[in-house]
Amino acid sequence: MTTELSHHPLVQHYLTTIRDVATEAPAFRRACSGMTQVLVAEAAKLLEVDSVRVQTPLEETEGARIAGSVVFVPILRAGLGMLDHAMATIPGSSVGYIGLERDEATAVASCYYAKMPVLDEASQVYVLDPMLATGGSAVQCVDQLKQRGAKKLCMICIIAAPEGIACLEAAHPDVKILAGKVDRQLNEQKYILPGLGDFGDRLFNT
């Protein structure tokens, strides 16, 4: 598995806003949208293209169009904060949903909802989860996607913990990870340090 960090200046700028405890929900959402667009643009380097001919106002020339389907799968609920901006970055993409709820006592996630478009070997699937913490949710999500035929998978995260990366790598070494930042560690409550708090609560102001 390949874990790639984004070193884009905008990612660093937006991540600082997202981390800041003083950032209120509207500014938090704006920073999330900006960071998502940059990360998705970087993850789009995985896409294959077909050569086409296109007619400009002056003459015909060569062009390229994305080959195969592109599917975004946000892990509910926090992943929803990344979805609209991911779809805007790659128009024509499809969406699947997976709901995973973490037991706060055990930190183990259970699946309560899954709805996917048709997936095949040519589909490029991007899992959207702002925080890769323990890795349990990511593993369950990838399990579901592979059972439905997905072969080309990439996890896009705002931040990740080393423990989560190791967990996903052990279960699915073929899955790529693109993260804005790999943080230091998890605390006893399985929150990422230094982290950004509860992403879903801050995103939805709950």
Q: Nearest 5°: phi and psi at 46?
A: -75, -15
106 carries an active-site annotation = yes
The residue behind tokens 């609920």 is 77
The residue behind tokens 């993260």 is 179
Which helix (H) or strand (E) covers residue 170, if one does? helix 162-171
What whole-number distance in Å separates Cα of residue 118 and Cα of residue 122? 11
Q: Which of 20, 84, 106, 184 is catalytic?
A: 106
198 carries an active-site annotation = yes
Cβ count within 10 A of residue 106: 10
What whole-number distance in Å separates Cα of residue 31 and Cα of residue 63? 33
Q: Which of 30, 77, 102, 148 is catalytic?
A: 102
Instruction: Check: CB of residue 6 under 8 Å from CB of residue 160.
Output: no
Active site residues: 102, 106, 198, 201
